[in-house]
A and B are shown apart, each in its own frame.
Chain A
């Protein structure tokens, strides 16, 4: 078990007033989620914007402190460490972000970008670091001469390869991928996803991949978690989730994915939008959009239950 997350919560206070500021409420960005992940496996987190996927990722990266709950990575609770320990912990967990046009410093050359984590953590001599950069460029399918170029000289797919090389530079065990392919073209998406799968096999990496594209998540994940308004509403092994989705939200999401087939025109599967997290609906937060909503759903929040081995759902139905 490399990652285990228990009853993780992150509530952001809503502050009113400038001088006599007070908190008037909380946005429950992440509200009581639990999951675990074994070494070499991938968990995909899906959900609409604002459901708390990225906040979860930030907490796993140690960029955001949880309100309560704990996160164990490699046996250590990372929510209570600071200073030197936090610094060392970051060697094990690295990230690749969504937009490779913004996540790379435009004023630095690729070799500087890739070797920066090595410099920060004082790994090797200058020559060692350069050797490592070339090795990494080769690993992610770029060429040695690319080391001296600036990010603007690359296409989106190539930039994402640079971002992946940077994440791999200090041999982390876990990589958090926050929408790694959603800014890329379809044909390039496939290249990057294949690269990620190959790297995982080769280096026994553990991934947490966040995406709103269910087809992308399906291709790389072993387990999939579906989030809605800060809650994990369904968590299941991949094949089980796609073959047998239980939560109405999961079914709606799956039915919303457009198919490249003009003979199969889809109707709108989910009406409405995600409600404001400032004032979430009572009971089950999904009930205003739910097609099978009953009276109990409006008043009582459902508990997580196991419907079959490893398949958890939080729904009254």
Chain B
């Protein structure tokens, strides 16, 4: 592969710098992603966490350059993938990248497959498109289905998606995602639509694949328990911005941002029943008119005077643990 630019840091698969993706609607500009910066190391599983509408899916679509047009637009920022700026690539180059070095798994396994084409055909597309054909295509598909533990793949390859259960469909989608051993796999809520028992199986599978092929994963979810189970690092988004990022152990041991603390507290824990569940009052702000200062300020119980007027800068409080909150120093 041609290296157009080599200004990325070594060991980093992805570097996102000050990404802003806005939607231009009749009612005004929705700042869905507003100044997001993070990076992903090789072989790392990063959890991107937040409530619906916090911009986590739009961040991932921006990386894939699949933001719905023409309403949505990446306004500014740089996305370096393997040191190459994705913004400068042509649509053709982008298409060649997707499904090959950079791939994505979508949320609802039953909806994201075409119901009237066989599983084998849809899986084969990944190889056909990226010129890795030959008469071994069918074998390749069978081998990849074997890898994601679909039972008797040589028979099931000719079945249609509706003949698969939700868990099996998700395995097929994962197999499409990892078919070409991508450098980065973005999984958008891969287990949300599945049963707990199947969820555990799929997470286990993803962890294994990541270890085996060195693929980095960005796991988008609102489920903190899932994150704790497989991620190495956690990024929390709120109303279009990153409020905290930390290595997974530090994240659960010493969460810093008041929003993160609330989020962790609101997870119902099995066997630790309380009379009332903890819940965060209020709702996330409307991104048409976000608050001027910190976006969590209207719901925050520890808000200071400065929180209302100025957005807090990101501050590193321990190795790799960064938080944007005025409670952690004002310089």
Contact = CB atoms under 8 A, between A and B. Distances in A.
Interface of A: 48-49, 155-158, 185-191, 193-194, 197, 212-216, 218-219, 242, 252-254, 256-271, 273-274
A260 B252 contact: yes
A267 B280 CA distance: 31
Given A252-B197, A265-B229, A187 B277 contact: no
A46 B248 CA distance: 30
Contacts of B200: 256, 258, 266, 268-270
B279 A256 contact: no
Given A155-B283, A194-B276, A186 B197 contact: no
The 5 closest A-B pairs by CB, nearest first: A190-B279, A258-B225, A190-B277, A215-B268, A48-B195
Interface residues of B, number: 46
B97 interface: no
Given A212-B196, A256-B197, A259-B228, A194 B270 contact: no
B213 interface: no
Contacts of B198: 48, 273
Contacts of B51: 185-188
Interface of B: 51-53, 165-168, 195-201, 203-204, 222-229, 231, 248-249, 251-252, 262-264, 266-271, 273, 276-280, 283-284
A261 B268 contact: no
B199 A258 contact: yes
Given A156-B52, A190-B277, A212-B195, A259 B225 contact: yes
B268 A190 contact: yes
A156 B283 CA distance: 11
B204 A268 contact: yes
Given A188-B51, A190-B278, A215 B270 contact: yes
Contacts, number: 129
Contacts of A273: 165, 167-168, 198
Contact of A260 (B201, B203, B224): B224
B224 A218 contact: no
Contacts of B166: 49
A156 B53 CA distance: 11
Given A155-B283, A258-B225, A194 B277 contact: yes
Nearest to B250: A262
A161 B204 CA distance: 35
A120 to B, nearest CB: 31
Given A215-B270, A242-B271, A262-B248, A271 B201 contact: yes
B283 A260 contact: no
